[in-house]
């Protein structure tokens, strides 16, 4: 801290304005405030303290600094131009004081004027006001000074008779003052940082030691676990001479006493031997797996052939059954072919019967008509009376000839119908004979159909048996696939 100028008025024994240019004393280095007792030397120090902290000491109130010698209405003011390091500040303070009320006639009629401050900083020769608030100004000054008022008055400005108290202060109090004065907290921070780093390093060393011991235990356990004692496929000990020597060395070595590097080298040698043996076992397993795959392929081919043979046998049985059915179907077709004329004859017989019935009805109609004919009636009466039948008059001959022709034609038609009826009766007899033969053939076909149903039931049972056999073969195939998978996993 360097004081450049101090200006104040109406404070202590100084009623007027005082201007102290300390810059003029910079060349001297050291200077002395000299004067008789009560001259005001301590007041100057109190003014500096008040300008910096807003309070001179704990024993006096701020209003007591106001000079009783000053003219009424003269405010107590302080202006301090001071530097802290590379920063320069100008502090303008007005102390709390009593002032006459405006317009008051009585000198004792006064009011209290509150303290105020204006803090400015000189930057490149220009004054820049920082704040006019008391609390903000105190915070800024406290940060740049680095000392509390108590520490400042104990170290920088010692009141009269207080230096002995500083010397007699406790070590903790002096340490606090000196730490604050010489800014030794950075060394404390360095010490704390180094202490923390040392603690961290000690923790890391302890962790590394524990990790080392853990790794050594793992290495020793690995060396003991994987000592050369594996067996080959025949179940007998199978180690080469080098492995026998490694086993003897492992038994002879005290693994706990080995240095880290030797223990690691020993475990690496055992792991290398194990890797070589594992590769050999893998090669053997690969060969075995390849052989097993070939066997499995052969079994699969045999299974395929067996399945094809089973399918062929099934198809053959089905073909044989279909051949018998085809033969039976051919017989049925022949029987149906033979039965068709019978059916046609039956239809013809029905038609002929209908025609015969129609002819008989027609003949009966003509017969009844002939009986109702007048000529026939006349002939019948004349014959019954004994008259000559054909003794007629010549004039009636043409009419009789016409009637005779009519009767002759009717008789011829009736005769033809009788002949046709006889032929129809013969056809009906033949058709009935063929129908009887067809019924006998139908009975034979019914029996063959029953035989076919029996054969079908037998074939169904055989098919179920073949299906069960196929399921057994499928289970065997799944077993083979599972065996192949296990071989691959091995």
pLDDT one-digit tens code per residue, 144-173: 988 888 777 766 776 555 555 666 677 777
In a domain, 314, yes or no: yes
Helix axes 397-489, 260-372, angle to 10 degrees: 170
In a domain, 156, yes or no: no
The CATH number that applies at residue 8 is: 3.40.50.300
Contact 307, 472 (CB under 8 A): no
Place 240 in a pLDDT band, splitting at 50, 70 and 90.
very low
Q: Compare 470 and 273 and report the one with higher pLDDT.
A: 273
Interatomic CA distance for residues 429 and 447, integer angstroms: 28
Q: Stretch 308-331: mean pLDDT, rounded?
A: 73
The residue out of 84, 114, 145 marking a domain boundary is 145
Does residue 244 surpass a pLDDT of 70? no
In a domain, 21, yes or no: yes
Q: Quick one: pLDDT at residue 88?
A: 93
Contact 93, 67 (CB under 8 A): no
Does residue 238 surpass a pLDDT of 90? no
Q: Quick one: pLDDT at residue 165?
A: 61
Does residue 467 surpass a pLDDT of 70? yes
Longest dimension (CA), the chain: 223
The residue out of 128, 145, 162 marking a domain boundary is 145
Q: Quick one: pLDDT at residue 335?
A: 66
Highest mean pLDDT among 14-28, 127-141, 409-423, 457-471: 127-141
**Structural domain boundaries, residue 461:** 307-489
The separation between the first and the last C-alpha atoms of the chain, rounded to the nearest angstrom, is 88
- Tell me, letter by letter, the H, E, C secondary structure of the chain: CEEEEEEEEEECCEEEEEEEEHHHHHHHCCCCCCCCCCCCHHHHHHHHHHHHHCCCCCCCCHHHHECCCCCCCCCCEEEEEEEECCEEEEEEEECCEEEECCCCCCCCCEEEECCEEEEEEEECCEEEEEECCHHHHHHHHHHHHCCCHHHHHHHCCCCCCCHHHHHCCCHHHHHHHHHHHCCCHHHHHHHHHHHHHHHHHHHHHHHHHHHHHHHHHHHHHHHHHCCCCCECCCCCECCCHHHHHHHHHHHHCCHHHCCHHHHHHHHHHHHHHHHHHHHHHHHHHHHHHHHHHHHHHHHHHHHHHHHHHHHHHHHHHHHHHHHHHHHHHHHHHHHHHHHHHHHHHHHHHHHHHHHHHHHHHHHHHHHHHHHHCHHHHHHHHHHHHCCCCCCCCHHHHHHHHHHHHHHHHHHHHHHHHHHHHHHHHHHHHHHHHHHHHHHHHHHHHHHHHHHHHHHHHHHHHHHHHHHHHHHHHHHHHHHHHHHHHHHHHC
Q: Could you give the dihedral angle defined by the CA atoms of residues 251, 257, 258 and 264, in that order, rounded to the nearest 10 degrees?
A: 80
In a domain, 471, yes or no: yes
pLDDT in tens, 346-367: 676 667 667 666 766 776 676 5
Contact 20, 6 (CB under 8 A): yes
Interatomic CA distance for residues 149 and 142, integer angstroms: 9
The CATH number that applies at residue 418 is: 1.10.287
Q: Quick one: pLDDT at residue 458?
A: 77
In a domain, 203, yes or no: no
Interatomic CA distance for residues 142 and 135, integer angstroms: 10
Report the percent of the chain where pLDDT is more than 70: 68
Contact 100, 138 (CB under 8 A): no
Q: Stretch 179-188: mean pLDDT, rounded?
A: 67
Interatomic CA distance for residues 90 and 121, integer angstroms: 6
The separation between CA 139 and the C-alpha centre of its own chain, rounded to angstroms, equals 59
Q: Quick one: pLDDT at residue 258?
A: 79
| 368 φ/ψ sector (left φ>0, alpha ψ -120 to 50, else beta) | alpha
In a domain, 247, yes or no: no
Interatomic CA distance for residues 131 and 402, integer angstroms: 170
Q: Stretch 383-406: mean pLDDT, rounded?
A: 61
Contact 18, 46 (CB under 8 A): no
Quote the number of domains for the chain: 2
The residue out of 145, 169, 192 marking a domain boundary is 145
Task: Compute CA distances 95 → 52, 134, 482, whole Å.
Answer: 13, 12, 105
Interatomic CA distance for residues 189 and 359, integer angstroms: 150
Contact 93, 78 (CB under 8 A): yes
In a domain, 399, yes or no: yes
Task: Compute CA distances 167 → 147, 176, 326, 343, whole Å.
Answer: 18, 13, 139, 156
In a domain, 53, yes or no: yes
């Amino acid at each position: 801290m360097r004081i450049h100028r101090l200006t104040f008025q109406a404070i202590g024994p100084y009623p007027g304005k005082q201007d102290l240019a300390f810059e003029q004393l910079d060349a001297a280095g050291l200077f002395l405030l000299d004067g008789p007792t009560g001259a005001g030397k301590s007041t100057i120090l109190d003014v500096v303290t008040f300008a910096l902290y807003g309070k001179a000491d704990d024993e006096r109130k701020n209003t007591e600094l106001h000079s009783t010698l000053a003219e009424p209405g003269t405010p107590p003011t302080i202006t301090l131009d001071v530097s802290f390091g590379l920063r320069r500040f100008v502090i303008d303070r007005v102390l709390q004081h009593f002032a006459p009320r405006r317009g008051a006639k009585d000198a004792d009629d006064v009011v209290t004027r509150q303290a105020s401050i204006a803090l400015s900083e000189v930057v490149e020769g220009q004054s820049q006001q920082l704040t006019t608030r008391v609390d903000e100004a105190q915070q800024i000054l406290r940060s740049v000074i680095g000392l509390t008022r108590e520490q400042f008055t104990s170290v920088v400005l010692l009141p009269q008779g207080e230096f002995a108290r500083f010397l007699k202060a406790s070590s903790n109090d002096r340490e606090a003052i000196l730490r604050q004065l010489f800014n030794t907290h950075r060394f404390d921070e360095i010490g704390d940082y180094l202490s923390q780093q040392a603690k961290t390093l000690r923790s890391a060393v302890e962790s590394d030691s524990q990790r080392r011991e853990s790794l050594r235990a793992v290495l020793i356990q690995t060396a003991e676990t994987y000592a050369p004692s594996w067996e080959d496929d025949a179940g007998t000990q199978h180690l080469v001479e080098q492995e026998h020597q490694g086993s003897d060395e492992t038994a002879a070595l005290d693994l706990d006493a080995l240095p880290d590097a030797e223990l690691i080298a020993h475990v690496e040698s055992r792991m290398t031997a194990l890797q070589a043996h594992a590769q050999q076992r893998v090669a053997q397993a690969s060969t075995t797996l390849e052989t097993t795959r070939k066997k499995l392929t052969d079994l699969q081919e045999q299974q395929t052939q067996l399945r094809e043979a089973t399918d062929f046998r099934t198809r053959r049985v089905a073909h044989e059954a279909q051949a018998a059915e085809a033969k039976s179907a051919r017989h049925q077709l022949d029987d149906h072919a033979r039965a068709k004329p019978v059916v046609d004859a039956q239809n013809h017989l029905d038609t002929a019967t209908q025609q015969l019935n129609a002819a008989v009805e027609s003949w009966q109609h003509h017969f009844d008509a002939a009986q109702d004919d007048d000529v026939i009636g006349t002939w019948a009466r004349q014959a019954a009376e004994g008259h000559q039948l054909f003794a007629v008059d010549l004039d009636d001959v043409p009419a009789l000839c016409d009637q005779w022709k009519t009767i002759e034609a009717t008789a011829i038609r009736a005769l033809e119908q009788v002949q046709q009826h006889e032929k129809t009766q013969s056809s009906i007899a033949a058709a009935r004979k063929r129908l009887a033969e067809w019924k006998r053939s139908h009975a034979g076909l019914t029996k063959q159909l029953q035989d076919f149903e029996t054969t079908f039931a037998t074939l169904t049972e055989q098919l179920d048996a073949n299906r069960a056999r196929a399921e057994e073969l499928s289970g065997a195939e799944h077993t083979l696939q599972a065996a192949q998978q296990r071989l691959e996993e091995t």
